[in-house]
Structure 1
């Protein structure tokens, strides 16, 4: 699948959630909700790479 803008939007949304300091389980829950919305409307989503706090953003 060609890269679409949604990939960047989802990645930025997840990064904003992580920066806000909320619990990892809450982040996972919100990301699952977003994925469920797109799946319900049969919109194909890119697979986001997993992020761990040990990774460094450039």
Structure 2
């Protein structure tokens, strides 16, 4: 029973840290564009990269 006296505060502190980190990333704009990165890989650039142009010449 005495184990709960230190496990409960530890779990509350870890939960508060997780909440603070989540709110920090939310305010920082981490979740603003969820589909952009997933769709960006589907589009091919029309111009070759500069390092590929140097290797071909």
Give the TM-score normalised by structure 1: 0.36
When you count helix as a share of all residues, which structure comes out higher?
2
Structure with the greater relative contact order (CA < 8 A, sep ≥ 6): 1 or 2? 1
Which entry has the higher C-alpha Rg, 1 or 2? 2
